[in-house]
């Protein structure tokens, strides 16, 4: 316990100062494992958080999508440089997009020129306010709807020009997986990632699911706009100013249909399984060397309104070495209503931390503090 006293102090700070209901952290360092917790899994009962909980990993699921695509490339069934039109003819040829110019690589690196999908009116009008969320929390999105939303607003740039975090790109990648294999996205993730890595507590959440296996924490959200805010006016630059005032009680969002995420991040897992997954992705034990190098050929995220001091590979991130003192630190992360998850590790020595909060992202300071406490790395200092 003494070795992770600093991590525990950060967990306690997150509950006391950041307003997180409950947080867990699991650390794997070679053959040693440590688990810490603070706060509660259930605000009504006061039940504590515990090891082995099933949690939503949010956009961490993008890495599963990228891994499947890369295994297909290794088999010669597709190429990262295939245009989208090769597999989905005409699907993106609307609103100024050109499916002959956007490649699979662009989709997986968030450099396709697609707009930020979460800002689409079809999405924001359903979930922007508490009342909207309560009305639409069990809505199911089909693949066809997700692909239509992906290109429903004009491009933010030319393919390869800039980084813009776009769930729609990964929805297109999921559809390409199904087109190439003739199987469902979930089946291919199971066959190519989950089974080979022995992730016995991990699965792509079925579209009809609205809950979690036991044990699991309750999920709480304050991720809503102020009453009267018009979602149509929301941009990447002004969204924070429209969020509802602090101090309102969180809404219990545990029961929620997350089909909106699909191949952009609808994986349910545990901290232990995700440590095993990140170790494999960061260290290269799942993919052939050529595909592993492709996964970690990164692009700058500067100007993309995303995590600071990070570069983006294919579905995963790597902290800029200038911000880590030259050390390599790789990982996954994701946030949605009632859940924030991240796992980061050093590929050279199998040292990884996985963290989950039962509310959405609040501040990057939490990740920065935990990385400093566990690895002694001061991001951006």
Name the E strands within 97-142. none
State pLDDT tens for residues 71-125: 999 999 999 999 999 999 999 999 999 999 999 999 999 999 999 998 888 888 8
* CB 161 within 8 Å of CB 56: no
Strands 22-29 and 32-39, how do they pair? Answer: antiparallel
pLDDT greater than 70 at residue 1: no
Report the CATH fold assignment for 2-224+233-375. Beta-lactamase (3.40.710)
The DSSP output letter for 215 is S
CA distance linking residue 336 with residue 221, whole number of Å: 9
Q: How many residues does the chain have?
A: 381
State pLDDT tens for residues 290-338: 999 999 999 999 877 789 999 999 999 999 998 899 999 999 999 999 9
Structure tokens at 300: 């700058």
Per-residue confidence band for 381, with pLDDT thresholds at 50, 70 and 90: low
Region of poorest pLDDT, from 170-179, 220-229, 271-280, 306-315: 220-229
């Amino acid at each position: 316990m003494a070795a992770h006293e600093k991590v525990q102090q950060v967990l306690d700070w997150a509950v006391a100062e950041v307003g997180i209901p409950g947080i867990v952290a699991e650390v794997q360092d070679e053959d040693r494992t440590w688990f810490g917790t603070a706060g509660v899994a259930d605000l009504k009962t006061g039940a504590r958080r515990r090891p082995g909980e099933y949690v939503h990993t949010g956009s961490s699921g993008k890495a599963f999508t990228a891994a499947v695509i890369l295994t297909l490339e290794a088999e010669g069934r597709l190429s990262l440089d295939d245009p989208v039109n090769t597999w989905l003819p005409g699907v993106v040829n609307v609103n100024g997009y050109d499916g002959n110019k956007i490649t699979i690589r662009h989709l997986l690196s968030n450099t396709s020129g697609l707009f930020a999908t979460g800002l689409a009116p079809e999405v924001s009008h359903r979930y922007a306010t508490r009342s909207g969320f309560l009305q639409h929390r069990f809505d199911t999105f089909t693949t066809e709807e997700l692909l239509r939303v992906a290109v429903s607003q004009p491009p933010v740039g030319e393919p390869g020009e800039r980084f813009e975090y776009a769930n729609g790109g990964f929805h297109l990648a999921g559809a390409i997986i199904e087109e190439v294999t003739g199987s469902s996205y979930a089946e291919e993730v199971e066959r190519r990632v989950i089974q080979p890595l022995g992730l016995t507590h991990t699965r792509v959440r079925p579209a009809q699911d609205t809950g979690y296996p036991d044990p699991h924490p309750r999920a709480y959200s304050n991720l809503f706009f102020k009453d009267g805010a018009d979602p149509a006016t929301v941009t990447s630059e002004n969204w924070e100013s429209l969020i509802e005032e602090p101090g309102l009680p969180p809404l219990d969002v545990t029961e929620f249909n997350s089909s909106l995420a699909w191949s952009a991040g609808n994986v349910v897992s545990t901290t232990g399984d995700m440590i095993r997954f990140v170790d494999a992705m960061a260290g290269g034990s799942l993919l052939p060397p050529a595909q592993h190098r492709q996964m970690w050929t990164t692009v700058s995220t500067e100007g993309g309104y995303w995590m600071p001091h990070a570069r983006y590979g294919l579905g995963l991130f790597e902290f800029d070495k200038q911000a880590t003192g030259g050390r390599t630190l790789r990982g996954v992360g994701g946030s949605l209503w009632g859940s924030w998850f991240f796992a980061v590790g050093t590929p050279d020595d199998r040292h990884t931390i996985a963290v989950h909060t039962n509310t959405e992202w609040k501040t990057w300071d939490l990740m920065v503090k935990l990385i400093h406490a566990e690895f002694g790395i001061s991001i951006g200092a």
